[in-house]
Amino acid sequence: MARERQTALITGASGGIGHELALVFAEHGFDLALVARRQAELEVLAEHCRRDHGVGADVLAMDLLAPDAPGLLVQRVEEADLHIDVLVNNAGLLDMGRFAEIDVTRHERLLQLNVVVLASLTRRLLPAMIDRGHGRILNVASTSSFQPVPSLALYAASKAFVLSFSESLSEELKGTGVTVTALCPGVTRTDMYERTQDEHESAAMVPGIFVSEVGDVAREGYEACVSGRAVVVPGLPNRLVASAVQLYPRWLVRSIGGLVGRRST
């Protein structure tokens, strides 16, 4: 894929994996369209990318949970005369705990951001990529995509959607010049991880070998995206686990997950 004046739109770019993905894309010469609620953090990131990598960086601060946010975002992209070559659907929410005890509005917000916004943005930006004959879509899923995770029931289900959706589109778009990649990180050392560690005993018990550094995850995601791979699981331990759970009977995977989930809650 030619790199001249290509633009990557990255949601959830103000922190965590999205922030690191922005840095990696900038390092490789991509202009950026940065999306998140926190404008101050986006401005700092944009200035850093302009100064250190000589790329363009547009800040599109907005709440993706606002009514018709995907449509409004695409409208702002068009008004700025941006042509999106790479769409990175990174923005997402995670709630840990018993499903019946988490407020229903939190469940609705999670589904809206992790599923509806991701699918809507993809649908709105994909046709132009097909028309141009090239494009990349990177959807951030999770290793929880591969099995049920009690205490993360809705989050894991939403990421299973992201994985299935990405793989389906990857096949559907063969021959168009557009590829779709699902990035499936395991536990990653981000601000969200640190907060979850403080609030939940089970998160603090994750062995260090399964905890990835956010920069490593971003680089593996970038490389898989630009090379057109359908699925990438960063880190050898996580790849082994993701492969293993697909070999065991579902009742066994479900039972083991239940034991861990009940202990965590």
Torsion angle, alpha carbons of 217, 221, 222, 224, to 10? 140
Is the distance from CB of 43 to CB of 19 less than 8 angstroms?
no
Contact call for residues 265 and 97 (beta carbons, < 8 A) = yes
Q: Which long-range contacts (CB under 8 A, 24 or more apart) does 201-207 make?
A: 201/264, 202/151, 202/260, 202/263, 202/264, 203/96, 203/264
Q: For residue 155, indicate whether it is catalytic.
A: yes
Count the neighbouring beta carbons within 10 Å of the beta carbon of residue 151: 22
Catalytic option among 155, 193, 222, 248? 155
Residue 139, beta-bridge partner list = 89, 182
- Catalytic site positions: 155
